Amino acid sequence: MIIGQVAQDDLLLRDVVTGQLYRATEGDGVGLSYLLGVDGASVFDSNYLPADMGYTVSDTRTRARAGVFWQMGEDVSFFYGATYLSEEFEGQTEGQFLGSLKLNFNF
C-alpha cells in the first residue's frame, strides 16, 4: 500500500529479498509517500539452504516492510525502507531486519 502522491504513477519494481517496491521511473511531483506491506510464502525447498547440507527450511516465511519515498525536486529523490524477515530455517534463533536505501540525483 502506498499512501501519498509520490510513486502513484511510476513504474514500480520489487526487490527480490526484501519485497520493497522501488521506482524504475519517476514523475515530476514533489512530496512524500509512505509504503506499507506484508506477505507470506509456503516453502517446500531452497536452493540457498539445501537439505543435503543439513538445513531444514521453515514451512512458511513472512516479510513485513515500511518505507518512505521523498521527491525533493524534479532531479532529486530518496527512498528508505525497513524490512523484517522471519526465520528461514530450523535453528535460526530469530528473524532479521534489513534496511534499503535509494538515492537519485539526475543531472
**38-95 pLDDT per residue, tens:** 999 998 888 888 888 888 888 899 999 999 999 998 889 999 999 999 998 888 899 9
Instruction: Write 22-30 long-range contacts (CB < 8 A, 24+).
Output: 22/79, 22/100, 22/102, 23/69, 23/77, 23/79, 23/102, 26/71, 26/77, 26/104, 27/71, 28/74, 29/5, 29/71, 30/6, 30/71, 30/72, 30/73
Listed by start position, the domains of the chain span 2-43+56-105
- Decide if pLDDT at 28 tops 80: no
Cβ atoms of residues 37 and 21 within 8 Å:
yes
Per-residue pLDDT of 11-21, as tens digits, reads: 999 999 999 99
Q: What pTM, to 2 d.p., does this model score?
A: 0.83
